[in-house]
Amino acid sequence: MNASVTAVSCSAAHTFSKANQGGIHLVAGQGVEGDAHRGETVRHRSRVAQDPTQPNLRQVHLIHAELHDELRAAGFTVAAGQMGENITTRGVDLLGLPTGARLHIGGTAIVEVTGLRNPCAQLDRFQPGLMAAVLGRDENGGLVRKAGVMGIVLAGGEVRPGDPIVIKLPPEPHRPLERV
């Protein structure tokens, strides 16, 4: 299956869900133009409270549409953007990527994957039981976070639904994704 963008979303306010758009503009070193999480330093409110000078490793949030499919099959009503993601993908094993993987999206945009999104209680306020549905356990009993990945913008550009995604892995040894 070809990797592609299925939806793009943005919100100027710190809202849980983001509105779908016809396109978004990624800005190098900043994030999504017009999004509340855009910036060189942290914008997530809990992280700003801890240390507002931390680098923003969460400029762009990506979720795989396959997660939405899985959640719908489990009885949840979830659509692109509703879990706060900026870019919804299909055909990319986002959770299996190593730290530092680069996603070349559309004509010029490049997003470097920095880590996993850590699911929070807002998921349950959106739909009861959703937080547990995006958490699992691996074969060793380790916690698996399925709520997408976070990244930084290395090269800006327009991103639209239907845009192809090309994955470039970093040199080995690969580092597994951790929560950021």
State the average pLDDT over residues 6-16.
96
Range of the domain at 147: 4-168
What local confidence, expressed as pLDDT, does residue 52 receive? 86
Distance of CA 7 to the CA centre of its chain: 12
The answer to whether residue 18 is domain-embedded is yes
The answer to whether residue 179 is domain-embedded is no
The answer to whether residue 112 is domain-embedded is yes
Q: Is the pLDDT of residue 19 over 70?
A: yes
Give the end-to-end CA distance of the chain in Å, rounded to a whole number.
Answer: 29
Q: Is the pLDDT of residue 35 over 80?
A: yes
Q: Is the pLDDT of residue 4 over 90?
A: yes
The answer to whether residue 177 is domain-embedded is no
Q: Give residue-wise pLDDT tens across range 59-113.
A: 999 999 999 999 999 999 999 999 999 999 999 999 999 999 999 999 999 999 9
The answer to whether residue 92 is domain-embedded is yes
What local confidence, expressed as pLDDT, does residue 47 receive? 79
Cβ atoms 87, 164 nearer than 8 A: no
> Which domain CATH number covers 74?
2.40.33.20
Cβ atoms 117, 150 nearer than 8 A: yes
Distance of CA 143 to the CA centre of its chain: 18
pLDDT above 70: percentage of residues in the chain: 99
Q: How many domains does the structure of the chain reveal?
A: 1
Which tokens belong to 62?
């990506």
Q: Output the pTM of the full model.
A: 0.96
3-state secondary structure of 20: strand
The answer to whether residue 70 is domain-embedded is yes
The answer to whether residue 8 is domain-embedded is yes
3-state secondary structure of 83: coil
The answer to whether residue 87 is domain-embedded is yes
Confidence of residue 9 (pLDDT cuts 50, 70, 90): very high
What local confidence, expressed as pLDDT, does residue 1 receive? 63
